[in-house]
Amino acid sequence: MFLLGVSLAACGLPERANPADPRIGSDEVNGLVLLAEFPEPFLSEVVDQVGSVRYVFSSDDVDSVEGDMDIIGVTARARIKKFTPGVQHALSILVLDRGGVPTFVFSDTLNISEAAEEVTVSLERLLGELEVISNLPPEVTELQVHIDAGVDTLLRTFPSEGTMTQRIAGIPTGADLYISLLGLDKDRQVLVLNDLRADIREDLIARISMEIFGGSVQVIAYFPTYLSIVEIDRFSDSMGTFFRRSENPDLPAPNEPIEFDDTRFLKRGFGPNGEEMSFYNLDVRPKSPGVVYELVDRRGNPIIGQLPIYDRLPGDVDYSDFWHIHNVYIQGSEYKANSYDSAEDVLGSGLEIEQSGTVANHVMVPFGSSAGLRYDSNTPRKLQDGWYRGQIVKYLVFESPQSVATVDFGAGQVNTPQMYAFLENNRDERDGFALDLEGVSTHNVVTRLPGEEGYSPLWVLQIFKIDIFERVFDLASSLDLAKNEDNLVEIGRLLYVNAPIVKVGQ
């Protein structure tokens, strides 16, 4: 076991902003406010990944005080009502992520005067280690380790020399981190790859392995990093309904990265029982999915390293973010992955093609785009690679057959459960969904949650008049108010919106 020491900066004596302020314990104040600030490079982790924050004040002279801290914005906060000032206190704060792994800490001795009303401390990021054990054939000359550490992707590169052990330090701790191992040959082609997950802890070394025993390995024909990338425009008039650049010039330019965590796209609403939920508004899409070809061997196992092959792009007629998976069977062992890189290649190959009964929500986006939330933590958040006519197309995965949140599909179409919704202008979709007075949440209500039977992220909208906005907060209230036609807005057509639910609860 390896213990990584964490250096903590001491906090000086807190100063009063005003000498006339009330003192702790008086009738005018309700205790001491404790604030814990997260390091600036890691602020993006606070909302999505922090599970709990716990503090303990201890002293030799008085009883210890402990409790939970709330996350307010990107700061942890607690009001401590039973606090004894004027003595030295040892303060410890521990932050756990949603998987229960410690990620931030504070530990120091503070001398808090009776005059202090508020104390602010700075948290430290915990770091851990990863040990990689590899046993690769001589064709592999380089081992790459990619670690999705939340804030950024860490890359470490090592010469491959048969059996070896490499230790990587300085990794931000966290549960279920995504790790990708790639073995490259002298021409920078990927020969072997392995995607896996591991917990990185401050007090334990995570160990993973990549081994090939005997024989040679199958060379992947192409490495997507060095190929041209398809240009994508999701906000053209032919593509957009809610989001058109011609009506909103502030939207990203063609092929400019899209930050879907922007409040224009990431919205809040209500589940069937009034639970809070978050969803991305990815705009209107048809019920009929496109086709994606996935190459498999004769047993139905995916061809290692082969990228999926798509038949259309955003802006094409009938483009959809939803893709009906077609399995393409490769019978022999001589096939080199990615030799087929277009739908035309597949259709002209004479290979057996089998339509599956499953659909994936793969959203094609410009290179550099991002969306940080997923309902299923096992769903990859980073951009994925696919083929379109010999070029690489980038896409984000939201629902897939492998995730908890799957897409209900039948009779050649994506199922469309109902979402009760309000439009900002009370007339059409041009100004988007209506928000509450704080400008934070819609009062849209969904009839299914991920993992439930019949769930699909493609919702048919039932539009309510804005007059009853405050009266809609769950499915029961929606159904009741929908009985009165005077509460409904008729826009002359059905809107099917791709809005994957990515979070349920606070």
Q: What is the DSSP string of 284-321?
A: B--SS-EEEEEEEETTSPBPTTPPPEES--TTSTT--S
pLDDT of 376 above 90: yes
- Measure the CA–CA gap between 504 and 506, rounded to whole angstroms: 7
Per residue in 338-353, pLDDT (tens digit) is 889 999 999 999 999 9
pLDDT of residue 130: 87
pLDDT value of residue 462: 97
Nearest to 129 by CA among 173, 169, 176, 177: 169
Confidence of residue 371 (pLDDT cuts 50, 70, 90): very high
Q: What global pTM score does this model have? A: 0.59
Q: What's the pLDDT at 414?
A: 97
**Is pLDDT of 272 > 90?**
yes
pLDDT confidence band for 227 (50 / 70 / 90):
low
Give the single-character DSSP code of 40.
Answer: G
CB 136 within 8 A of CB 16: no
3-class SS string, 99-162? CCCEEEEEEEEEECCCCCCEEEEECEECEEEEEEEEECCCCCCEEEEEEECCCCEEEEEEECCC
Q: Can you give the length of the chain in residues?
A: 506
Q: How many CB atoms lie within 10 A of CB 262?
A: 10
Q: Region 121-137: what's the mean pLDDT?
A: 88
- Which pLDDT belongs to residue 81? 82
100 closest CA partner among 164, 211, 44, 176: 176
Question: Which residues are CB-contacts of 87 (< 8 A; sequence separation ≥ 6)?
Answer: 59, 61, 62, 111
Q: pLDDT digit string (tens) for 429-466?
A: 888 999 998 887 999 999 999 999 999 999 999 999 99
What is the C-alpha separation between 476 and 273, in angstroms, rounded? 8
> pLDDT tens for residues 233-245?
999 999 999 999 9
pLDDT at 20 over 80: no
404: which residues sit within 8 A by CB, 6+ positions away?
375, 376, 378, 450, 451
Give residue 30's pLDDT: 60
pLDDT band for position 468 (cuts 50, 70, 90): very high
Residue 495, pLDDT score: 96
Structure tokens at 146: 């990619």
Q: Over 70: is that where the pLDDT of 29 sits?
A: no
pLDDT tens readout for residues 297-314 = 988 989 888 999 999 999
pLDDT digits (tens, 9 = 90+) for 197-214: 888 888 777 877 776 544
**Residue 397 CB-half CA count within 13 A:** 22
* Between 277 and 63, the higher pLDDT residue: 277
Beta bridge partners of 167: 131
Domains of the chain: 32-125 (2.60.40), 127-219 (2.60.40), 290-402 (no CATH)
The residue with greater pLDDT, 353 or 506, is 353
pLDDT score at 229:
85
**In the predicted model, is pLDDT for residue 218 greater than 60?**
no
- What amino acid occupies position 402? Q
Pairwise CA distance, residues 344 & 352, whole Å? 14
> Under DSSP, is residue 490 helix (H, G, I), strand (E, B) or coil?
coil
Helix/strand/coil (H/E/C) assignment for every residue in 59-89: CCCCCCEEEECEEECCEEEEEECCCCCCCEE
pLDDT band at 152 (very low <50, low <70, confident <90, very high): low
- The predicted structure's pLDDT at residue 36: 94
Residue 262 has pLDDT above 90, yes or no: yes
- DSSP strands (E only) in 321-448: 322-330, 353-364, 384-388, 391-399, 409-410, 413-414, 418-422, 445-446
Q: Please check whether residue 9 is in contact with residue 93, taking contact to mean a CB–CB distance below 8 angstroms.
A: no
Contacts of 334 (CB under 8 A, 6+ apart): none
350: helix, strand or coil? coil
3-state helix, strand, coil in the chain (%, to 5): 10, 40, 50
As a whole-number percent, the residues of the chain with pLDDT over 90 amount to 55
pLDDT of 203: 76
Region 385-396: mean pLDDT is 93
Run of H or E residues at 480: helix 475-482
Per the structure block, which two tokens stand in for 231? 């240009």
The answer to whether 45 and 150 have CB atoms below 8 angstroms apart is yes
Amino acid at 32: L
Instruction: State what percent of residues in the chain have pLDDT above 70.
Output: 89
Q: Write the CA distances from 322 to 292, 342, 394, integer angstroms.
A: 9, 18, 15
Residue 17 has pLDDT above 60, yes or no: no
- Helix (H) or strand (E) holding 49, with range, is helix 43-49
Asked if 142 and 159 count as a contact pair (C-beta separation under 8 A), the reply is: yes
The answer to whether the CB of 324 falls within 8 A of the CB of 362 is: no
pLDDT reported for residue 151: 59
Q: Is the pLDDT of residue 4 over 50?
A: no
Rounded to whole angstroms, the Cα distance separating 27 from 44 reads 39
CA–CA separation, 463 and 224 (whole Å): 43
Q: Tens of pLDDT along 60-92?
A: 777 888 999 998 888 999 998 877 776 678 899
Give the least confident one: 91-100, 173-182, 284-293. Answer: 173-182
